[in-house]
Every structure is written in C-alpha cells, then in structure tokens.
Amino acid sequence: MEVLRQLQGYFWTKRLYLFLSILCLAIATALGLIYPNLLRYLIDDVITPRNFEGVPILAMSVLGVVIVKSFMQFLHGFFGGRLGNYLAYRLRNACYEKLQFLSFRYYDTAKTGDLMSRLTGDLEAIRNFIGFGFAQLLNVILMVVFGAIMMLSINWQLTLITLISMPLLAFIALRFESQIHPAFQEMRLALSSLTTAVQENITGVRTVKSFAREPYEVEKFSTRNERYKTNQIFASTLWSRFFPVMELLASISIVLLLGVGGYLVIQKSLSLGELVAFFSLIWYIIGPMWSIGFHINNYTQSKASGERVLELLNQPVEVLDRERAVELDSQRVEGHVTFDGVTFAYGNKLPAVVDINLDAPPGTVIGFLGGTGSGKSTIIQLLMRAYDVNTGSIKLDGKDIRDIQIRSLRGQISSVFQETFLFSSTIRNNISYGLTHVSMEDVIRVSKLAKAHDFIMELPDGYDTVVGERGMGLSGGQKQRIAIARALLKNPKILVLDDATSAVDMETEHEIQSGFQEVMRGRTTFIIAHRISSLRHADEILVMNEGRVVQRGKHEQLIAIPGPYQDVYHIQYADHIARLKDTAGEQVKQ
Ligand SMILES: Nc1ncnc2c1ncn2[C@@H]1O[C@H](COP(=O)(O)OP(=O)(O)OP(=O)(O)O)[C@@H](O)[C@H]1O
C-alpha cells in the first residue's frame, strides 16, 4: 500500500478515470447478478408452470443486460487504459529526468541493463495494475459481497454451507501471495541481471571477440539464464499447486450444495429454480476466488516493480545546487580557477587526491602528468562538480563552485575525454550537440581547428554522415577530433583535455595543438596527458603521484631537475636526447 501511496502523486490528477473505471466494472458485475435471477424465473415461473408466453420478454431482457454489461466493460477498459497510460507516461518521464540529474556516484555502480528493465518491464507492470488490475481486485471483493447478499436473499442455510470453504480459499490465496511475492522479486532481479549480460556483451563485443572469450560469455549468460529459469520454475510450481487446491475446495462447496440443496428441494423448502440460481451464484463467487490468484499475482508483480521504480525515483542526488547558488553571467566569467587544499576520496576508499593547491589565472594552461590512478582525472571531475570535495575548496573567479549553480558552472567548461561518445546521429549534430541555432559555418570552423574537416569531407555524406552510438566506422583518432570540435563549439571559458589526443598520432596531435594555441587564447585550459609533447607549452605542469603533487613548474624547469618528470622525459625523448648527445660529441671532436 505504501507503494501505491507513493505512486498516487503520478496519477491523482486523473483520478476521475480511476473512479469511472471502477464504477463501470462494478456496474458490469452487478448486472452479472441478473443472470441467476433470470434462471430462477425461467425455471420457476416459465418452464415449471409451462407459461411460455414469458419467453420473449425474458430473451429481450437477457439481450438488454448483455448489451449494457458489454458497454460497461468497454468503458472500464477505456478509462483504465487512459489512466494506466497516463501514469506510465508520467513515470517514464520522471525516471528519465531523474537519470539526467543523478550524481556521477550513482552511475559508478549503476547497471545499464537493470535501469533499462526498470524503465520498460517494471513500468509496464505498474501500468497494467493501476489501469486494470486495481479495479479488478476491488471487483473481486464486490463480486463476493454481491453474490453473498444475493444468496442470503434466497436461502440463508444454503448460503452458510456454500460459503464454508471461503475462509479457507482466502487463507490459501493469502499464503500463496506471501510466497509468490519474493519469488517475483527474485525473478525480476534475475531478469535484469540477464539483460545486463546481453547489454554488456553487445557493448563490449570487440573486447569479447579480441580475447576470444565467446565461450566464457556464453557460460556467463547461461548461468544467469539458469538462475532466471530456476526462479520461473519455482514460481510456476507455486502456481501449479495453487490451482488444484482451489479447485478441490470449490468442489467441496459444490458437493455440499448439491447434497443439502437437493434435500431442501425434495423437502419442498427450496424451489428448483432457486437451487439452479444458487449453482450459478456459487460460480459467481468461486470464479473471483480462482482469479484472485491472478489478481494477487498481478498486484505482487506490480508492487515489486513499483518498489524498483520508486527506488530509482527516490535516489538521493548527492551533488545538488545550494539554496543560494548563483547563476554565472557568461559574459563576465573570466576563468580564474583556484584549488585550495583539496582532498577527496571516492566513498570509503583511500583519498584519490590529497591537499591539491593550484592557481590558474584566466587564460593559463595547466598540465597534469602522472601514472595511471595518480588522481589527474579526479581533479577535473572535482572542478566540474561531478563530486564535491571532502576538504578544501575549488573557486572560480573567487567564488566557491559549491555556491554556483551546477548547470551554469558546467556551461563554462568544455571537456574532451579519452573515450569519445558519439550519439547515433549525423556528425553535424554530434558536433553541435545540445546547442540550437548553430550555423554550418561555425561547425566547419571548429572542425577545421580540430583537424576533423578534411576526413569528414571524405565521408560519403560529409557532415550529414550518420554515426552509430559508438561512432562505428570512425577511427579512435577521428572520434576524438569530433569530440574536440564539439568542445570548441561550446566556446567555454575553461577547456579540459583529458587525454584528449591520446588516440591521434604525434603529427596530428601537433597539428591539433597548433590549432589549440588559437582557441586556448583567453581560456583557462587543463591538459591531462601522458605525452610530454602535449604539455611542454603549459604555464604550469603538476606532476602527480598517488594523489599528491610531487613536482610542479614549467617544462624547462622540470627537465632540468632530477625527478619523475625528467625520467618520463628521458624515456619519451630517448632517441632525441641520444641524437643531441651524438651531435654534441661530434662537435667536440671537430
Ligand atoms: N568513479 C570512481 N569510483 C571509485 N574510485 C575511483 C573512481 N574513479 C577513480 N577512482 C580511483 O581514484 C584514483 C585516481 O583515479 P584517477 O582516474 O583520477 O586517476 P588518473 O590519474 O586520471 O588515471 P589515468 O591516467 O589512468 O586516467 C584511482 O585509485 C582510481 O581507482
């Protein structure tokens, strides 16, 4: 019920549909009660006294009842459908919106397949229950109550005998519910783990194939499939036990009714028509008892689904705008970035960065060099407020970034990452991603700066070439150049290049960087690179190791002193240094 209460907010504006749907179903159900009465009339007042002139009226009444009942059932479906679809529409939008604003931390552990199944299968189950299942569950109760009243009006002794098995039926249905609910929850989990396996397999197909790990993947899938199958078998075993037990109990009622009812008819304290009416009423009551299993199943499924959807919707957003967070005036932003004693750890792990201090006046270029996992990308993530710092502060133009609206802050920062994500759209749309009213001239201008224009023009449809979600058909370097063009088009005050040219060759990197000289002017730029060639023009280079800055300075200063920077320089420029030494040696000889 708690789930229903929480979902209520998503359909309450359309509650009229819910009430109308329930009302129409209740009318249809009430009309169903007319049949046993017609049967009684047919037997007691038409057939037994051979009074056949009543038949046409009877036939017309049946037809009338059938038409009205069918119409009410149509209206129940109509309003229920409207309600269910409206709710599913709102929940889908709410979930998608939530996914947009959830913090990076959530995505660190989230599984795509699992999220997809919440947005599809789970939403569908909720739609079905709120649209139809809920009204039908209420209707089951109505049928039992109406039926019992009707029976009582005919004969109270027989009613008691007939209803004797009802508490047992209800008990079994409830016991069944308590077992099937966890089974369904388990089944949903197993299904989402199955979809996750498929999704990861498709995304990582290149890795799978290059490692020839197809048998491992098949094995992995089959284990999860096995789990899903076991869950399904367990649930269907519960189902298969449920039906025979219900049938047995129902049959006991019928046998009792036949015996006692037949005796009463012989004793003439019950008419034949009344006994037949009772027989049809017993099905009127037992029918819902049978289907109560289905409705309870429907309810438990959608309850489990509702919990999963609500769990997503209730996820706390860790990085939020503060109450008084300001919006930046993009015309006025200068891009002065300072880090003041910044320390940060992911969850309970050891700190990823420790006591980082940095001053990047507007327009300066800051380089980061360091081994993998040394904390370079973390510094950038903190600047974007993907996470909030644990201690210390990061300021933009003297203002703590936690006091700036996240959207506004990120609007000033353009990032190019090592991994480029391209949307399944045209190259032009990928470059102008999220920006409206961008002229083709601008797209071409930034593409030229990113050295992407030439290869784009060689593609069959130029800028209109459609690329897949992983940029199928483009090389890693080409994708990176598109990402660089995309970042430049945003015209940011702060530019972040996180291993952005790792996939291009040295020559292209040099070309791109000469283009950058122009676009970096007036922007504060952070470059993370493994190649010294990418950093040598930086105003300050920070050498990182295990989350700490171990060396800092300009390229010329750093190569002059022994330390990690000089070591990397020696490794990367070994040939160059050897050549320099040879030339120097020859000059000495001469
Ligand atoms: N999302 C995350 N959740 C938990 N730990 C993380 C996360 N991202 C990074 N880390 C950890 O933080 C530390 C710093 O990682 P970071 O990505 O900043 O290093 P890096 O210097 O950029 O490495 P690389 O050059 O390999 O990209 C590492 O120990 C890493 O395992």
What six digits make up the tokens of 334? 């200068």
What is the position in ligand 1's atom list of the atom closest to the CA of 373?
19
What is the position in ligand 1's atom list of the atom closest to the CA of 370?
21
Q: pTM of the prediction?
A: 0.71
Q: Hey, where are the domains in the chain? A: 2-313, 335-412+494-504+520-590, 416-491
Pairwise CA distance, residues 260 & 151, whole Å:
15
Does 3.40.50.970 match the CATH number of domain 416-491?
A: no
Ligand 1 within 6 A of CB of 378: yes
Distance 397 CA to ligand 1 centre (A): 27
Low-confidence spans in the chain with pLDDT less than 50: none
Distance 386 CA to ligand 1 centre (A): 13
Angstrom CA distances, 213 to 205, 208, 372, 482, stand at: 10, 5, 26, 32
DSSP per position, 68-92: HHHHHHHHHHHHHHHHHHHHHHHHH
| Interface confidence (ipTM) of the complex | 0.95
Test site for ligand 1: of 353, 376, 530, most ligand atoms within 8 A of the Cβ = 376
What is the position in ligand 1's atom list of the atom closest to the CA of 375?
18
Distance 107 CA to ligand 1 centre (A): 15
Distance of CA 117 to the CA centre of its chain: 7
- Residue 164 has what pLDDT? 75
**By the 8 A CB rule, do 319 and 387 touch?**
yes
End-to-end CA distance of the chain: 94
What is the position in ligand 1's atom list of the atom closest to the CA of 530?
25
- Residue 354 has what pLDDT? 93
Distance 523 CA to ligand 1 centre (A): 26
Distance 43 CA to ligand 1 centre (A): 84
Ligand 1 within 6 A of CB of 349: yes
| Closest CA to ligand 1's atom 29 | 373
Q: What is the CATH number of domain 2-313?
A: 1.20.1560.10
Test site for ligand 1: of 102, 339, 374, most ligand atoms within 8 A of the Cβ = 374
- Residue 185 has what pLDDT? 77
Test site for ligand 1: of 346, 535, 548, most ligand atoms within 8 A of the Cβ = 346
What six digits make up the tokens of 392? 């210390």
Nearest to 465, CA basis, from 451, 476, 449, 479: 479
Ligand 1 within 6 A of CB of 381: no
CATH topology of domain 335-412+494-504+520-590: Rossmann fold (3.40.50)
